[in-house]
């Protein structure tokens, strides 16, 4: 039966999937309404749904009539996705979202089935498999219309599925009929802790999620394409944790090019990419994503200094080394978790950090701790540039160019914010950086 499930929901071309995200994890919804990927409880944890890369785990809401065409859209400025299926008997929509903003220890998946034209009949399948399918369902119970179970270390509760039936220890299946114009809600909770509280009330959960997205995403009227910019901002916000860390991608093991070995795990926050995103946001306004980028990056600099890694988990932890997870993988790729970034030295990180601080200073978004981190890490940044020079002369190859000289970046900050000149301690440190021979390392490829 498990293999029948895999055959019923094969992978699609990546552009056919839609991203749901709440800041702490992301999910991919396919054209058949199958959530084919979601890590839980957080971005860097094992996947609970992973049929995308060959695991026997997914969460699907699909028209029962196999003869349909699919489509869908995002609600403006959100990561609320409306799946839409047109069949020979009517039109069905399914509204999908992760309750927003996300709780680091618990994810709530909201799905609302709406019979837009004609009566709707859909099939729902819940087949979780914690840690990339290593665990099935355990302790499956039903009480007062609520299903509860465990999958590995995770606790699950499914409401709106009282008439579902268990299929072995692998999954729950449900047939749902909805009258024209009506809707039916499914709410799935996944938590690190036992779920003893009351389940979410669907209307309240949806209203709260809509309101939170409206508050989180600015109008972006300063751009020439405000609607597109708003949607881009929503994606960035959905991929940004409460820590301020922004992951590079929601997924792993997806090939950049088929059968060329270039498929990686990008469920982590890259310092350089975080700086780029922060600078881009700063160009539009003093928005929270800029503050988050500054907070996360300066935190890592203060913590690690010249031992700064190119990437971290969203909690500031180390990225695990690359390893296989014994799955078939996405077509053209292979099963890769973790990343070899720990062995890399990315020379441009410190320059990009300073440019991010300059952009934040121009928006008056630096506080005392940020200014202190700039002054306190000046010698470390200079030492890093000296190290780059040493590596260059010794023939060690680095794979990134220097983003800018330290003196250029420091000058940008000094021009951007008057408080720098008013604080002799900060000004003295930055002046020393600007005069240091180490700051002469410039935009060159290091061979």
C-alpha 134/C-alpha 349 separation (Å) is 37
Average pLDDT of the chain is: 86
Stated as kind and residue range, the H or E segment containing 133 is helix 130-133
Output phi, psi for 5, to 5 deg.
Answer: -65, -45
Calculate the alpha carbon distances from 197 to 145, 157, 209 in Å: 15, 11, 19
In the structure, what pLDDT confidence band is assigned to residue 6 with cuts at 50, 70 and 90?
confident
Angle between helices 202-216 and 226-238 (to 10 degrees): 120
Which of 133, 107, 67, 90 shows the shortest CA–CA distance to 329? 133
Burial class for 207, CB neighbours closer than 10 Å (0-12, 13-18, 19+): exposed
Query: What are 299-330's pLDDT values in tens digits?
Result: 998 888 878 899 999 999 999 999 999 999 99
Query: What are 222-270's pLDDT values in tens digits?
Result: 999 999 999 999 999 999 999 999 999 999 988 888 877 777 899 999 9
Say how many Å lie between the first and final Cα of the chain, rounded: 55
Calculate the alpha carbon distances from 124 to 50, 94, 196, 220 in Å: 17, 12, 25, 38
C-alpha 95/C-alpha 81 separation (Å) is 6
In the chain, residues under CATH classification 2.70.98.10 are 2-212
Stretch 147-165: mean pLDDT: 97
pLDDT of residue 414: 55
Q: What percent helix, strand, coil does the chain show, rounded to 5?
A: 35, 25, 40
Tally of helices (H runs) and strands (E runs) in the chain: 12, 22
Calculate the alpha carbon distances from 319 to 74, 168, 304 in Å: 32, 36, 14
Query: What are 373-383's pLDDT values in tens digits?
Result: 666 555 555 55
In the structure, what pLDDT confidence band is assigned to residue 443 with cuts at 50, 70 and 90?
very low
Residue 264 CB-half CA count within 13 A: 13
Query: What fold, for 2-212?
Result: Beta-galactosidase; Chain A, domain 5 (2.70.98)
Query: What are 134-146's pLDDT values in tens digits?
Result: 999 999 999 999 9
**Does the structure show a pLDDT above 50 at 436?**
no
Residue carrying the six token digits 């003196």: 407
pLDDT of residue 399: 44
């Amino acid at each position: 039966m498990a293999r029948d499930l895999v055959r019923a929901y094969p992978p699609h071309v990546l552009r056919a999937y839609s991203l749901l995200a709440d800041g702490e994890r992301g999910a991919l919804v396919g054209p058949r309404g199958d959530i084919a990927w979601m890590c839980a409880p957080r971005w860097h944890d094992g996947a609970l749904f992973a049929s995308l890369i060959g695991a026997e785990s997914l969460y699907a809401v699909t028209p029962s009539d196999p003869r349909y065409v699919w489509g869908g859209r995002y609600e403006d400025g959100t990561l609320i996705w409306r799946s839409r299926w047109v069949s020979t008997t009517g039109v069905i929509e399914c509204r999908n979202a992760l309750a927003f903003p996300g709780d680091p220890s618990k994810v709530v998946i909201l799905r609302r089935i709406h019979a837009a034209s004609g009566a709707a009949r859909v099939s729902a399948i819940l087949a979780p498999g914690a840690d990339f399918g290593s665990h099935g369902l355990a302790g499956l119970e039903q009480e007062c219309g609520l299903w509860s179970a465990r999958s590995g270390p995770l606790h699950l509760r499914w409401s709106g599925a009282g008439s579902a039936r268990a299929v072995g220890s692998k999954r729950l299946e449900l047939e749902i009929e909805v009258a024209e114009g009506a809707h039916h809600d499914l709410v799935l909770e996944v938590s690190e802790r036992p779920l003893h509280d009351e389940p979410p009330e669907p209307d309240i959960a949806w209203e709260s999620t809509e309101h939170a997205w409206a508050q989180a995403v600015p109008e972006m009227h300063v751009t020439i394409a405000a609607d597109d910019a708003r949607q881009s901002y929503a994606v960035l916000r959905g991929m940004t944790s409460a820590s301020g860390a922004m992951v590079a991608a929601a997924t792993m093991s997806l090939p950049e090019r088929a059968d060329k070995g270039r498929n990686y795990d990008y469920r982590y926050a890259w310092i350089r990419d975080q700086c780029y995103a922060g600078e881009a946001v700063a160009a539009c306004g003093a928005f929270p994503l800029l503050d988050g980028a500054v907070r996360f990056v300066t935190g890592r600099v203060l913590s690690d200094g010249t031992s700064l890694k190119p990437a971290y988990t969203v909690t500031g932890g180390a990225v695990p080394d690359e390893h296989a997870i014994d799955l078939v993988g996405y077509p053209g790729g292979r099963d890769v978790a973790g990343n070899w970034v720990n062995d890399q030295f990315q020379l441009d990180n410190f320059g990009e950090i300073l440019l991010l601080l300059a952009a934040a200073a121009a928006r008056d978004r630096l506080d005392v701790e940020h200014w202190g981190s700039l002054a306190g890490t000046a010698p470390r940044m200079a030492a890093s540039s000296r190290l780059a020079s040493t590596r260059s002369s010794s023939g060690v190859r680095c794979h990134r160019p220097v983003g800018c000289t330290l003196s250029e970046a420091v000058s940008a900050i000094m021009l951007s914010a008057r408080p720098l000149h008013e604080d002799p301690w900060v000004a003295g440190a930055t002046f020393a950086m600007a005069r240091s021979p180490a700051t002469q390392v410039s935009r060159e490829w290091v061979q």
